[in-house]
Amino acid sequence: MIERPDLAAITIAALVLGAAALPVVRTFAPGRRWSWPIRTIVAAQTALSWGIACLLPPPWAYLGLILAWCLLVLALVDYLELRLPDRLTLPLTGLGLLTSLTIDGGDPVASGLGAVAGYGIFTLIAWLYRRLRGLDGLGQGDAKLLAACGAWLGWPGLAPVVLTASLLALAVLLVHRFVTHRPIAPHEAFPFGPFLCGGFWLVWVLG
């Protein structure tokens, strides 16, 4: 029988993290006003992560809440400010590496290789894009976020995350073109972080 987390503890943890999400985002995006869609996203993600955490055994339930919260904050900051702060991505990577060392079933070798490969792959793609197009495509924040993906999921999880994130981004671009009747120009900033966060979360939950 799968051990379940304490319902009261997991509920309190989810509520505390949910309440802290927007104040933390505000430290990276000062002066922003929170529209109802953003508040709805925070509430929905908090409820969803709580529901999933209730189905997981400890300590994965609590780790899942922390991961969901970090990805939510990162996605909102990148959407609002077009950046993924090191103060969020680097601790997330460190937590993934630490988890692989301390939790039963963890694979520190796969985790370490995943972090290195995740950072290296996106850094190489960004360099090639800059050389070929003369424009910045992926930022270092995206590379560090993919390193965090690798640290949590191991190197085998990188391809599913990138594929899922790319499909999510493509779907949004198609909807944008359908609604506005124009494509996004090459020089227009388009945050990839929210889609990377979404792909990361889906692969972690479903994997």
What pLDDT, in 10s, does the model give residues 36-94?
788 898 999 999 999 988 888 888 899 999 999 999 999 999 999 999 999 999 999 99
Best CA proximity match to 152, nearest among 49, 39, 70: 70
Q: How many CB atoms lie within 10 A of CB 128?
A: 11
Tell me: pLDDT of 5 over 90: no
The set of residues, in sequence order, having a beta carbon less than 8 Å from that of 41 and lying 6+ positions away, is 72, 76
Tell me: pLDDT of 181 over 90: no
185 φ/ψ angles, rounded to the nearest 5 degrees: -70, 155
Residue 14 is predicted with a pLDDT of 92
Are 167 and 203 in contact by the 8 Å Cβ rule? The answer is no
Distances (CA, A) of 162 to 96, 112, 153: 18, 18, 12
| pLDDT above 70 as % of the chain | 98
> Looking at per-residue confidence, does 31 or 121 come out higher?
121
Are 153 and 161 in contact by the 8 Å Cβ rule? The answer is yes
> Looking at per-residue confidence, does 168 or 106 come out higher?
168
CA pseudo-torsion sign 47, 52, 57, 63: negative
Q: Is 60 helix (H, G, I), strand (E, B) or coil?
A: helix
Residue 186 is predicted with a pLDDT of 66
C-alpha 6/C-alpha 158 separation (Å) is: 32
